[in-house]
A and B are shown apart, each in its own frame.
Chain A
C-alpha cells in the first residue's frame, strides 16, 4: 500500500506540473496568434489576406490600409496572415483558406499550370525589385559578365529573371557556378559569391548597412555594381493581388469584395507613398522587427516600384504580362525545365476588378497615377537600426 500511494503522489505531481505548463502555453498562444483583425463589429465582411513573407514594409500598403481604416470604409474586416519560408501563398489561396494572396507572377504561373485556379486581379508592383549586385572590383556590369563567376541565387522561383538575362546575352548555366544563397548577405560579403541576388528594398540595403572593413565606414552605393533586370529587359512581374478564379465567376459578392479590397489597398499604397515614415512605423507596430532605417528604406524602395504608375496603379500592363509569360515559357533552369510549358489560361489575369476600383477612385478625385510622386532620401544606419 505504501508503495502505491507514493506512486500515485508522483503521478499527481506530474499532472499538476503539466497542467501548469499547459495553461501557460494557451495564454501565450492566444496572445501571439491573433493579428490585425479590427473590431469585427457591425456588418463588416471578414477578409483574409495571405502575405508571402513575415510583416515588413514590402507590404506597407496593406498594413497602412488596415491602420488607416480604408478597408473598414469599404465594409471589410481584413485580417493579414503572415507568410514564412515554406508558406506558398497561391496554394493557401487555391485551397480556399484565405480570400486573397500576395505573390509573384512567375511563381504563380507554375502553380496555375499545376491546377491552381487563381487570377491576378491587381498588379501592385509595376517594376521588378530583383537585381544582381557585385563589388566594383569584380567588374560585373551586365549579364554577359557573369560568365566564369560565382553567381548567387535563392532559387525557389527567384532565379528566373537572372537565368533569362543570362540566356539573352548567351551565358549558359554551365558557364557560371551557381551558389545557393541564404537569407543573409554574409556569403556575398565574405567573397564566396561574386554576384549576389538582392532585392532593392532588402538585401541591397543589408549590404549598405554593413561596415566596410577597409574604410571603417558603411559600404556605399559607389562600391557596388548593380544589374537591374528592368534595364536588362528580363524583368518579371512581382507582387500582385491574387483572387480565387472560381469564386470570381460564381460568387457576385466575392467579386464585389474583390473590387473593394483592391480599392482600399490602393489607398493604402497611396498613403505609403505620401507618408513613408508613418507607413514604416505602422509596419513596425504590426510586429516587424526590422531596424528603423531599414524599414523606411524598404518602404521607400517599394514605393519606387509602384509610383509613378504608367497606366494607373494595379492595372496589369499587357506587354509586361506577355513578357513575363514569354520568359516563363522559354527560360530553362539548371535541370532544363521551364516554369510553364503552355500559355496560361485566360483566367490567369483580369483587369476588370482593378479597373472598377480605379474608376471609383478617380470619381473620388484620387490621383491614381502618382504623377507628383518623389521618393525620399533614406540614410541607412549600421545594422539597419
Chain B
C-alpha cells in the first residue's frame, strides 16, 4: 500500500473514532443541559428524560461492564458474559446469513436464467418480507421441534438462525438479480457472438458485473441477520445469546441502571463484526468493485 493509501485509512479510522466521541458528547451534553422531563410534543415523548434512570452516565455503564454480573462468588465479569453471548449470537447470525445468502443467490440465478421464474418468484420474494416472522418466532420453534430424522434433532438455536436467514435472503436475492442483469446489452451480445453458453457468460460476465450490487446487499443482509437473531432470541428467550441477556437484565433498570445497557453494547459489537466480515469479502473481491450501487 502506498503512502496516500495509508493516509486515507488513518483518516477513515480517525473519522470513525470522531463519530463515536461526538455521539458520547451528545449523550452527556443532552443529559446535562436537556429538560429534566424530556421533550414532550402533544403527549408524545420525542426526547427522553435526563434522569440517571432513563439515561445513565456513560461512566456508569462503563463501570458496570467491569463489575461481576451478580454478587455471587463465582460470577464472571459483565464484559465476559456479554462477550460470550455476543459470540453465540454472532455464530447464529453467521449461520443465518450463510443460509440466507445461499438461498438469495440461488433465487437470483433462477430468476435471471428464466424470465418466467422472475415473474413468478419476485412478487413472492417481496411479499415474503411483509410476514412478521419475528412475531411468530415461537411458532417456528414449535414447527422445528417436530423435526426429527435419524440422529438429527432440531435445536432452538436453529429456529433463531432460520429467522435470521429469512431476513437476510431478501436483499441478496434482489441485489444479486439486479447485479446479474446489469451487464450492457453490447457485452451480452458479444458473448453471444462468441457462441458462449449461459454458464460461461455467468462466470465471465454476469457474476463479476454483479459484485458492485452484491456487496451492499451482503452488508444489508449481515445487519438484517444480526437484528433477526437478537429479536428472535428475545422472543423465545433462547439461552446463551444477547437477546436473552436483554430480557434478563431489563428488570435491573431501576436498581442497577448500567446493567441493561451492557447487552445493547454487545449487540452493537456483533453488528460491527458482521459488517467487518462483509468488508473482508469486499477486500477479496476488490478487483471487481467498479463503483457500488446501493441495494
Contacts and interface: CB of A to CB of B under 8 A. Distances in A.
Contact of A190 (B53, B234, B247, B277): B53
Interface stretch (A206-214, A316-324, A345-353): A206-214
Interface in B234-252: 234-241, 244-245, 247-252
B92 A85 contact: no
A330 interface: no
Interface string A25-46: 1101101110100000000000
A287 interface: yes
B163 to A, nearest CB: 12
Nearest to A218: B255
A203 B185 CA distance: 66
A264 interface: no
Contacts of A209: 254-256
Contacts of A87: 138, 141, 236-237
Contact of B92 (A25, A95, A384): A25
A35 B157 CA distance: 13
A219 B153 CA distance: 49
Interface stretch (A6-14, A119-127, A300-308): A6-14
A292 B71 contact: yes
B244 A189 contact: no
A50 to B, nearest CB: 11
A85 B259 CA distance: 19
B72 A284 contact: yes
B259 A383 contact: yes
B285 interface: yes
A383 B255 contact: yes
A29 B91 contact: yes
A341 to B, nearest CB: 25
Interface residues of A, number: 59
A75 interface: no
A73 B94 CA distance: 43
Among all A-B residue pairs, the 6 with the closest Cβ atoms? A84-B237, A32-B240, A25-B91, A383-B256, A209-B255, A184-B253
Given A292-B72, A384-B252, A84 B49 contact: no
B54 interface: yes
A219 to B, nearest CB: 9
B287 A382 contact: no
Interface string A136-180: 000000000000000000000000000000000000000000000
B156 interface: yes
Nearest to B45: A192
Interface of A: 4, 6-7, 10, 13-14, 17-18, 21-22, 24-26, 28-29, 31-33, 35, 53-54, 82-88, 91-92, 95, 97, 182-186, 189-190, 202-203, 206-207, 209-211, 284, 287-293, 381-385
A56 to B, nearest CB: 9
Given A32-B157, A88-B138, A183 B251 contact: yes
Given A84-B234, A383-B255, A287 B260 contact: no
A136 B271 CA distance: 45
A25 B160 CA distance: 13
A11 to B, nearest CB: 9
Interface string B134-156: 01011001100110000000011
A210 B281 contact: no
A135 to B, nearest CB: 13
8 contacts: A14-B281, A29-B88, A82-B237, A83-B237, A185-B254, A209-B254, A210-B254, A289-B249
Interface string B74-98: 0000000100000110011011001
A189 B53 contact: yes
Contacts of A32: 88, 157, 238-241
A85 B69 CA distance: 22
A202 B251 contact: yes
Interface in B136-188: 137-138, 141-142, 145-146, 155-158
A184 B94 CA distance: 31
A54 B247 contact: yes
Interface residues of B, number: 57
A10 B284 CA distance: 6
B203 interface: yes
A263 B186 CA distance: 80
B4 interface: no
A88 B91 CA distance: 27
B255 A25 contact: no
Contacts of B95: 21-22, 25
B98 A18 contact: yes
A185 B253 contact: yes
Given A202-B251, A384-B252, A86 B260 contact: no
A257 B127 CA distance: 47
A79 to B, nearest CB: 13
A21 B69 CA distance: 27
A290 B70 contact: yes
A363 B91 CA distance: 52
Given A28-B88, A84-B238, A290-B70, 10 more contacts: A21-B91, A29-B240, A82-B239, A86-B137, A183-B247, A183-B250, A184-B253, A290-B248, A292-B71, A385-B71
A384 B91 contact: no
A90 to B, nearest CB: 12
B51 interface: yes
A28 B72 contact: no
A29 B157 contact: yes
B255 A289 contact: no
Nearest to A287: B239
Given A185-B253, A189-B53, A210-B255, A86 B236 contact: yes
Given A21-B94, A83-B237, A87-B237, A184 B70 contact: no
A206 to B, nearest CB: 5
A128 B235 CA distance: 26
B239 A186 contact: no
B71 to A, nearest CB: 4
B91 A24 contact: yes
